[in-house]
């Protein structure tokens, strides 16, 4: 059996502001932007790196979905972004206005800090120990 998770849906407020944040600030690559209807797009962004799972940026289409924007996990860290150079990315992100809510620490598994995306979802930025 060969399985893998291809995409994770991330509920967003606006497609274009989400593209701007994930591609221009975090440095992700826009993999696909297909118009499906007047109100819906198939929008995939992905970190640069081999084997990366992609995000499907899904615009909220009703009040229940709007209520989940920025809090898809009830305040827990939602996504885990691995890097090969923690300090390069940490310094780059802070220079672009990314808010880190937990400062960098060295853990047994690597160097990690927690940041918020443009909607308030929490992310771990992690450089695993070699």
Q: What is the pLDDT of residues 15-31, one digit of tens each?
A: 999 999 999 999 999 99
Q: In 3-state terms, what secondary structure has residue 118? A: coil
What pLDDT sits at residue 91?
Answer: 98
Domains and CATH numbers, the chain: 1-69 (3.10.180.10), 71-130 (3.10.180.10)
Q: pTM to 2 decimals?
A: 0.92
Q: What is the CA radius of gyration of the chain?
A: 15
Distance CA 73, CA 34 (A): 27
105: number of Cβ within 10 Å: 10
In angstroms, what CA-CA distances link 62 with 26, 69, 93?
Answer: 27, 11, 32
pLDDT value of position 1: 85
Q: What is the pLDDT of residues 92-130, one digit of tens each?
A: 999 999 999 999 999 999 999 999 999 999 999 999 998
Answer yes or no: are the C-beta atoms of 127 and 113 closer than 8 Å. Answer: no
DSSP state of 25: I
Residues 70-94 pLDDT 10s: 999 999 999 999 999 999 999 999 9
Residue owning tokens 């206005």: 97
Please give the structure tokens belonging to residue 37. Answer: 């209807």
- Give burial (CB, 10 Å; 0-12/13-18/19+) of 119: middle
Strand partners, 11: 58
């Amino acid at each position: 059996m060969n399985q893998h998770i291809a995409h994770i849906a991330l509920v967003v407020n606006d497609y274009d502001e989400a593209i701007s944040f994930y591609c221009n600030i975090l440095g992700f690559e826009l993999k696909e932007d297909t118009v499906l209807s007047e109100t819906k797009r198939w929008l995939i962004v992905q970190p640069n790196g081999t084997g990366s799972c992609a995000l499907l940026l899904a615009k909220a289409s009703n009040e229940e979905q709007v209520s989940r924007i920025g809090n898809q996990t009830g305040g827990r860290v939602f996504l885990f972004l691995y890097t090969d150079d923690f300090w390069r990315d940490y310094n780059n992100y802070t220079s672009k206005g990314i808010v880190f809510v937990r400062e960098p620490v060295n853990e047994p598994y690597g160097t990690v800090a927690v940041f918020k995306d443009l909607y308030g979802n929490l992310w771990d930025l992690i450089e695993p120990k070699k």
